[in-house]
Amino acid sequence: MANAPDIKKLAVIGCGSMGGGLALLFAEKGLEVLLNDPSEETMDGILSQAKDGGIGDRISEYKDYKTLCKNLGSPKVFLF
């Protein structure tokens, strides 16, 4: 069996109730999470919850895909 890639970062595109919850869980498990959502209010809510939970340093918001992809590294893992 081939070795699985070592994933340290992932992008969550759409962080409503389901995507936001998953983003928080991934961050709790030590992954760096890059968020993108059309609603800044939604992203701010997830960032606030992350900060309150002590994982605010693992979640960041990106307003455009180009910057998000540039900061994601490799392998690029997206959750839609």
Give tens-digit pLDDT for 3-30.
Answer: 777 899 999 999 999 999 999 999 999 9
Give tens-digit pLDDT for 36-79.
Answer: 999 999 999 999 999 999 999 999 999 999 999 999 988 899 99
For residue 48, give Cα distances in angstroms to 3, 51, 60, 61: 36, 5, 11, 12
Paired with 35 in beta bridges are 12, 61
Paired with 60 in beta bridges are 34
